[in-house]
Amino acid sequence: MKILEVKSLTIPEIKVIRYQRHMDDRGYFTEILRKSDIDERPELSSLKNETLTQFNESFSKQFTVRGLHIQWSPFQGKLVRTLSGHMTDLILDVRKNSPTFGKIIAYDLPVNNAEDFGEFIWIPVGFAHGGFYPEESKIEYYCTSGWSGVDLEAGISPLASDIDWSLCDADLKTKFDQMVSGTPLISDKDRNGFTVAQWSQNPNADQFMYEAGV
């Protein structure tokens, strides 16, 4: 895995890892993951000490909206990439006392097999994760813990009116609004998830606290 660039997003704990594809006239070859390359990057210190223990794959039909999901006991960070199609990743800060608590950002992760690079997005503990899909898509995500069951997870509805979108890229927010104004494919569980205010009053929210400098 040759890392070409590590980019911090508007919420700086969220990282985009751009890695090299070796191209020729047949297509490309790439190393998807090499722990030593991650360990050498100081920008990825929050990932360096993690062990990726569960690998998931998800297929979404066009106009699907998923999220925003979070797990505790054990906590779960996620390293995510798009395999085919087009995902726009959604990341919501749920760390109490964080200066960006309740704020959401988006990052576009379309697949272009002609590019000489691919991208992962790293979502550490303390952030609820989801995405929306303007076309039929497949993603995979590497998790720092296994799924612990419905009693140890929660969801904040991506449709919650009290999510703060002020840090989100305006074009991606417009695309999200256009999708949800139609007939998006979204589960009842996700649609009826917590609002930010409801989540902040849930006792489990106290497990996600902001620590400056971490």
Q: In angstroms, rounded to a whole number, what is the distance separating the alpha carbons of residues 19 and 33? A: 9
Strands (DSSP E) contained in the chain are 3-8, 15-20, 22-24, 27-29, 54-60, 64-71, 78-84, 86-93, 104-110, 117-123, 127-133, 137-143, 153-155
| Active-site entry in 19, 69, 86, 129 | 69
Q: In angstroms, rounded to a whole number, what is the distance separating the alpha carbons of residues 89 and 103? A: 14
| Active-site entry in 19, 107, 133, 141 | 141
Q: What is the pLDDT of residue 93?
A: 98
> Predicted confidence band at 213 (pLDDT cuts at 50, 70, 90)?
low
Beta bridge partners of residue 127, listed in sequence order: 93
Q: In angstroms, rounded to a whole number, what is the distance separating the alpha carbons of residues 75 and 178? A: 33
Q: Give Cβ neighbours of residue 120 (< 8 Å, ≥ 6 apart).
A: 16, 17, 19, 79, 80, 81
> Predicted confidence band at 175 (pLDDT cuts at 50, 70, 90)?
very high
Indicate if 107 belongs to the active site.
Answer: no
**Taking a C-beta distance cutoff of 8 angstroms, is the pair 18, 4 a contact?**
yes
Tokens of 93: 């800060």
pLDDT in tens, 11-48: 999 999 999 999 999 999 999 989 899 999 999 999 99
Per the prediction, the chain carries an average pLDDT of 95
User: Comparing 32 with 137, which gets the higher pLDDT?
Assistant: 137
Q: Give Cβ neighbours of residue 35 (< 8 Å, ≥ 6 apart).
A: none
Indicate if 129 belongs to the active site.
Answer: no
Q: Give me the mean pLDDT over the 166-181 stretch.
A: 98
**Taking a C-beta distance cutoff of 8 angstroms, is the pair 109, 61 a contact?**
no
> Predicted confidence band at 214 (pLDDT cuts at 50, 70, 90)?
low
Is-above-0.75 flag for pTM?
yes
**H helices of the chain, where?**
35-39, 45-48, 170-180, 188-191, 196-201
Q: Give me the mean pLDDT over the 80-108 stretch.
A: 98
CATH code for the structural domain at 3-205: 2.60.120.10
Residues in the chain: 214
Q: What is the pLDDT of residue 61?
A: 98
Q: Give me the mean pLDDT over the 106-116 stretch.
A: 96
Q: What is the pLDDT of residue 1?
A: 81
Q: What is the pLDDT of residue 211?
A: 84
